[in-house]
């Protein structure tokens, strides 16, 4: 039995880093004032929010007045999609997205579809790619919004969001462009400065900050209708008492990871190549992620062994992987189906996702126990 936890489900959530924990505790125990209060304790809390915004702005290359804090990616995506569409009704009734989006994008577009909006869902081409020309062709004078993720949470597929945004604006400069950057923020290079991105969602718990905090970049001049009312915080865009501890924790996580981003990205590439080298000649394993996908996510299918069975087999050795999106709770992956994979391949898929703490030794033990599981579970059939 392995006593060490080998956590390979970092696309679901990450372990909170110590600097973030310290920042949260400080804001709870010392700088605990309400950030809108006029006294010194309020000012001290407000300074923590300002400092967190500065760190995020370094990462995205934007202005502090363009960052708004939310409870996480789901709220950010809902605010971006529903809020921008309702605030810009005159621009049209057509929304363009993709078939591989996270549920927090899929469901808001379904909601708007029920209100009479036309939803166009772009599919990948035969090579599993999303090309800017496909979005260009889909946009017309009636298109109010295009929303596409930056990095897919299940396969690691990278969408060329800057090029897609440019193509969208070339066809209709009034169309708003939103990207769900949750799986790419602070992992893959992406700066909004000098791009056509109007809205960008990000989340804290994917980057070593606590759960319950995220944000939305809103380019200056982009109209958003609030989803909540009362209070007037954050210029009325996202009202409610600011969660200073969580915001401060997010800021410190960004401050810690940003200087390491290039080094971590290089390490992820090495880890991905190493993992694939151990699996690619295994006749029982199919590698679903492509070489040019995000290097910190590897999606595989283990022939004839359902995802949940293998997941729980590995769990007894303190190895933690995912059967797909953590938000789907075991439901069949619409993402893998969208890439044209067979039902058997979808039903047997596992997602392995790395963190800054993942080592080659972790991956070696995972592969060892994966092979043990293939042998022992096959005998039980």
Which residues are tagged catalytic?
A: 327
214 strand-pairing partners: 70, 203
Classified as helix, coil or strand, 216 is strand
**Helices and strands, counts by H and E, the chain:** 13, 12
Handedness of CA 337, 341, 345, 350 (dihedral sign): negative
**Residues in a beta bridge with 201:** 180, 216
Longest Cα separation, the chain? 69
- Distance in angstroms between the alpha carbons of the first and the last residue of the chain: 24
Q: 143 and 117 in contact (C-beta within 8 Å)?
A: no
**What is the residue whose two structure tokens read 């006029």?**
38
**Beta pairing class for 6-7 and 319-320:** parallel
- Beta strands per DSSP E along 278-380: 285-287, 297-302, 319-320, 349-353
**What span, in angstroms and rounded, lies between the C-alpha atoms of 268 and 294?**
9
| 3-class DSSP state of 132 | helix
CA distance 59 to 63: 11
The C-alpha atoms of residue 10 and residue 89 are separated, in whole angstroms, by 38
């Amino acid at each position: 039995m392995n006593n060490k936890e080998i956590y390979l489900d970092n696309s679901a959530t990450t372990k909170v880093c110590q600097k973030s924990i310290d920042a949260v505790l400080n804001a709870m125990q010392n700088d605990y004032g309400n950030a809108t209060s006029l006294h010194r304790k309020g000012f001290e809390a407000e300074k923590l929010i300002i400092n967190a915004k500065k760190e995020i702005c370094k990462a995205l290359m934007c202005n502090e007045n363009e960052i708004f804090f939310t409870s996480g990616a789901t709220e950010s995506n809902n605010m971006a999609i529903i809020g921008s569409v309702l605030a810009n009704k005159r621009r049209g009734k057509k929304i363009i997205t993709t078939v591989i989006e996270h549920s927090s994008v899929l469901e808001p577009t379904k909601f708007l579809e029920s209100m009479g909006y036309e939803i166009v869902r772009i599919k990948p081409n035969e090579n599993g790619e999303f090309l800017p020309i496909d979005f260009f062709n889909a946009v017309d004078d009636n298109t109010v919004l295009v929303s596409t993720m930056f990095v897919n949470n299940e396969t690691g597929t990278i969408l060329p969001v800057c090029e897609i945004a440019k193509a969208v604006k070339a066809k209709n400069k009034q169309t708003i462009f939103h990207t769900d950057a949750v799986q790419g923020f602070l992992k893959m290079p992406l700066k909004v400065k000098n791009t056509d991105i109007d809205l960008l969602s990000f989340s804290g718990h994917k980057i070593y900050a606590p759960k319950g905090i995220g944000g939305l970049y809103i380019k200056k001049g982009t109209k958003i209708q609030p989803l909540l009312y009362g209070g007037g915080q954050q210029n009325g865009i996202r009202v409610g008492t600011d969660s200073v501890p969580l915001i401060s924790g997010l800021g410190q996580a960004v401050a810690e990871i940003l200087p390491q981003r290039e080094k971590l990205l290089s390490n992820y590439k090495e880890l991905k190549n190493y993992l694939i080298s151990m699996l690619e000649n295994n006749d029982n394993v199919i590698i679903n992620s492509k070489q040019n996908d995000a290097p910190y996510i590897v999606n595989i299918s283990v022939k004839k062994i359902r995802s949940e069975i293998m997941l729980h087999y590995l769990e007894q050795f303190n190895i933690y992987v995912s059967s797909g999106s953590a938000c789907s709770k075991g439901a069949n992956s619409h993402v893998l189906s969208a890439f044209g994979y067979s039902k058997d391949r979808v039903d047997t898929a596992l997602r392995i996702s790395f963190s800054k703490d993942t080592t080659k030794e972790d991956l070696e033990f995972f592969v060892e126990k994966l092979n043990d599981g293939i042998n022992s579970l096959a005998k039980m059939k």
